[in-house]
Amino acid sequence: MSDPPKVAAAQIKVERTRAALLETANELLERFQPHNLVDDLWEQAKNKGADLAEEAVDAVKKRPVAVGGIVAALTMFLARDPIKDAAASLYDAMTSSKEPKRKAAALKQDKPPPARRRARTAATAKRKTEKAT
| Those residues with Cβ within 8 angstroms of residue 103's Cβ, 6 or more apart along the chain or in another chain | 88, 110
What's this model's pTM, rounded to 2 decimal places? 0.39
Quote the crossing angle between the two packed helices 64-78 and 34-62, to the nearest 10°: 110
What does the pLDDT look like over 68-97, one tens digit per residue?
A: 999 999 999 999 999 999 988 888 888 766
Instruction: Please provide the average confidence, as pLDDT, over all residues in the chain.
Output: 84
Closest CA to 104 of 116, 94, 113, 114: 94
